Amino acid sequence: MDTNPRTGRAYKRGPYKRHPVAFKRAVVEASFAPGASVSRVARDHDINANQVFLWRTLYRDGLLGDDEPALLPVRIDAPMRSPATDRCATPVERIRTAAPGGTLTVEFGAVRLRIEGRPDADTLAQVLERLSARC
């Protein structure tokens, strides 16, 4: 319970509102419209403008995701075999980012994995684990 500083009376705050991700994205996209005011968009949706600013930051950082997980486009090339052992080449632990536009290239032995966009860390870990198991 909190206390009102003017009256000294105790009051209980109500429960937090839980907004669906689709609603948050719609509010943020409305606030990005040309000539839109964040405070007016917030008032139209009966929420605080500070909440809209937080959602805008999450949206820009890619953290206000869709309701469904996005799939990454993947192309698997045939592995290069070492003629001496007829096995995959020894893995090289080298990770580099190729361009500031969100492209990640991972070279793992003879395998080169190129990812565009912002990959999910768990999915990327599973892909790398399976790549290492193949070699």
How much helix, strand and coil, in percent to the nearest 5, is found in the chain?
A: 35, 20, 50
* Residue 99 reports pLDDT greater than 50: no
For 61, other C-beta atoms within 10 Å of its C-beta total 9
Higher pLDDT, 118 or 16: 16
Q: Residues 6-42: pLDDT tens digits?
A: 777 777 777 888 999 999 999 999 999 999 999 999 9
Residues 6+ apart with CB under 8 A from 13: 2
**Whole-model pTM over 0.85:** no
Q: Residues 38-69: pLDDT tens digits?
A: 999 999 999 999 999 999 999 988 888 765 55
In terms of phi and psi (left: phi > 0; alpha: psi -120 to 50; beta: otherwise), the region of 46 is: left
The tokens for 135 are 């070699």
Q: Residues 66-80: pLDDT tens digits?
A: 655 566 777 777 666
CA distances from 100 to 2, 97, 105, 119 (A): 48, 8, 12, 15
pLDDT band with cut points at 50, 70 and 90 for residue 133: confident
- Amino acid found at 121: A
As a whole number of angstroms, the distance between CA 31 and CA 64 comes to 15
As a whole number of angstroms, the distance between CA 71 and CA 3 comes to 49
In terms of phi and psi (left: phi > 0; alpha: psi -120 to 50; beta: otherwise), the region of 8 is: left
